[in-house]
Amino acid sequence: MFPLARAAQSLVARGIQHTAVRGAHRKHEPTFHDKYGTMVLLGGASVFTAVWGYVFTSLNVQWGISPVGRVTPSEWRG
C-alpha cells in the first residue's frame, strides 16, 4: 500500500474511533423527534386522510362511468 494511502486510511480510522468514543460517553437526551416523532407522523397522516377524504366525497364525481352507449350524436344541421 502506498504511504499516502496508508496515512489517509489511518486518519479516517482514527476519526471514526474518536467519534464512537465521544458518542459512548455522552448521555443520550431525547430530542423532539425521539419524543414526538411518531405522534407527529400519525397526526399528519390522519389530517391528510381526512382532508383528501372530504375532498373526494364532496366532488360528486362518478368514478368509472363510461359514456359508451349513453352519448348519442345529435342531428346535423348543415
C-alpha span between 32 and 20 (Å, rounded): 23
C-alpha span between 20 and 10 (Å, rounded): 15
* pLDDT band (50, 70, 90) for residue 73: confident
Q: Decide: pTM greater than 0.75.
A: no
- The pLDDT, as a whole number, for residue 47 is 97
Domain coordinates of the chain in residue numbers? 3-59
What is the dotted CATH code of the domain comprising 3-59? 4.10.51
> Cell for 47?
389530517
Question: Under DSSP, is residue 71 helix (H, G, I), strand (E, B) or coil?
Answer: coil
- What digits encode the pLDDT tens for the residues 13-67? 777 777 767 666 667 788 888 899 999 999 999 999 999 999 888 887 666 777 7
> Cell for 17?
474511533
Q: Residue 1 pLDDT > 60, yes or no?
A: no
DSSP string, 19-39: HHHHHHTS-----HHHHHHHH
C-alpha span between 32 and 35 (Å, rounded): 5
Q: Which residue has the higher pLDDT, 73 or 61?
A: 73
